[in-house]
Chain A
Amino acid sequence: MSTRSLNSKLLLSTAALIVGGWLGSGPALAQDKVLRAVMHADVRTLDPFWTTQTIAGIHGLMVYDTLFSSDINLDPKPQMVDTWTVSNDRKIYTFKLRDGLKFHDGTAVTSKDVVASMNRWAKRDGAGKQLMGFTASLVARDAKTFVWTLTEPYGLLIDILAKTGTSIPFVMREKEALVDPMQQIQEVVGSGPFSFKRDEWVPGSKAVYVKFKDYVPRKEPASGHAGGKVVKVDRVEFIWIADPQTAQAALAAGEIDYLENPSIDFLPALRSTAGVKVEVHPAAGTMGIIQLNHLHPPFNNVKARQAMLYLLSNADYLNTVSADKALQTLCFSYFGCNVSMETDAGSEPYKGAKDPAKAEQLFKEAGYKGEPITILHATDHQYINPANLVMIQQLRKSGFLKLDVQAMDWGSVVSRRAKKEAPAQGGWNIFITGTTVLTSSSPVTHTSIGMGCDKAWFGWPCDKRFEDLRKEWAFAPDLATRKKLAVELSKRAYDQVPYISFAQWRNPVAYRSDRLSGVQTMPSIPAMWNIEKK
Chain B
Amino acid sequence: MTAYIIRRLLATIPVMVVVAIFVFLLLHLTPGDPAAVIAGDDATPEAVDGIRTKLGLDQPIHVQFGIYAANLLRGDLGTSIFSNLPVLTLVKQRLEPTLVLAASTLVMAVLLAIPMGVLAAWKARTFIDRLVMGFSVLGFAVPGFLVGYLLIYVFAIELKWLPVQGYRPLSQGIDQTARSIILPALALSMAYMALIARMTRASMLDVLSQDYIRTAKAKGVATLIVLLRHALKNAAVPIVTVIGIGLTLLISGVVITETVFNIPGLGRLTVDAILKRDYPIIQGLIILFAGAKVLVNLLIDISYVFFDPRIRY
Chain A positions within 8 Å of B, measured between CB atoms, are 22-24, 26-28, 42, 44-46, 50-54, 56, 124, 126, 166-167, 180-184, 186, 202-206, 239-243, 245-246, 249-250, 252-253, 255, 380, 408-412, 414-418, 433-435, 439, 447-448, 455, 457-458
Contacts and interface: CB of A to CB of B under 8 A. Distances in A.
Given A26-B160, A415-B31, A126 B166 contact: no
Interface in B40-72: 40-48, 50-51, 53-54
Interface residues of B toward A: which range? 35 or more
B164 A455 contact: no
Contact of B82 (A45, A416, A439): A45
A250 B164 contact: yes
Interface string B16-55: 0000000000000011110011111111111110110110
Contacts of A186: 84
Contacts, number: 159
B276 A206 contact: no
Closest 6 interchain pairs by CB? Answer: A52-B40, A415-B33, A205-B264, A414-B36, A203-B83, A412-B31
Contact of B54 (A183, A249, A410): A183
Give the interface SS of chain A, mostly helix, strand, loop or mixed.
loop
B164 A255 contact: yes
Given A239-B262, A434-B41, 16 more contacts: A22-B179, A24-B161, A26-B160, A28-B163, A45-B83, A204-B269, A206-B264, A246-B164, A249-B153, A380-B275, A410-B275, A418-B33, A418-B48, A435-B41, A435-B42, A455-B46
B161 A411 contact: no
Contact of A447 (B42, B54, B156, B176): B42
Contact of B165 (A45, A249, A412): A249
17 contacts: A26-B161, A45-B84, A126-B42, A166-B42, A181-B50, A182-B54, A242-B268, A243-B262, A245-B149, A245-B260, A249-B152, A249-B164, A249-B165, A409-B32, A418-B36, A439-B42, A448-B42
B264 A409 contact: no
A253 B42 contact: no
Contacts of B260: 243, 245-246
A46 B84 contact: yes
B104 interface: no
Contacts of B93: 202, 205
A243 B275 contact: no
Interface string B259-296: 11110100011011001110000000000000000000
B311 interface: no
B15 interface: no
Contacts of A410: 275
A42 B278 CA distance: 14
B16 to A, nearest CB: 26
Given A52-B41, A411-B275, A255 B161 contact: no
Contact of B50 (A27, A182, A411, A417): A182
Given A166-B40, A182-B53, A414-B37, A23 B161 contact: yes
A253 B164 contact: yes
A183 B81 CA distance: 11
A250 B156 CA distance: 9
Contact of B152 (A180, A182, A246): A246
Contacts of B136: none
Interface in B242-264: 259-262, 264
B85 interface: yes
Contacts of B40: 51-54, 56, 166
B157 interface: yes
Nearest to B274: A411
A405 B31 CA distance: 16
A243 B164 CA distance: 12
Contacts of B175: 22
B302 interface: no
A39 to B, nearest CB: 14
B100 interface: no
A415 B161 contact: no
A249 B156 contact: yes
Nearest to A23: B161
B37 A411 contact: yes
Given A51-B38, A255-B165, A418-B33, A203 B82 contact: yes
B80 interface: yes
A24 B175 CA distance: 13
Contacts of B33: 411, 414-415, 418
A126 B277 CA distance: 25
A249 B84 contact: no
B90 interface: yes
B42 A408 contact: no
Q: Which of A26, A246, A414 has the most chain B CB within a 10 Å cutoff? A: A414
B54 A202 contact: no
A242 B85 CA distance: 21
Interface string B73-105: 000000010111100001001100000000000
Nearest to B42: A52
A69 to B, nearest CB: 19
B119 interface: no
Contacts of A27: 156, 160, 162-164
A104 to B, nearest CB: 19
A412 B276 CA distance: 10
Contacts of B50: 181-182
A384 to B, nearest CB: 11
Given A202-B93, A455-B44, A415 B36 contact: yes
A65 to B, nearest CB: 22
Contacts of A414: 32-33, 36-37, 41
A126 B44 contact: yes
B197 to A, nearest CB: 24
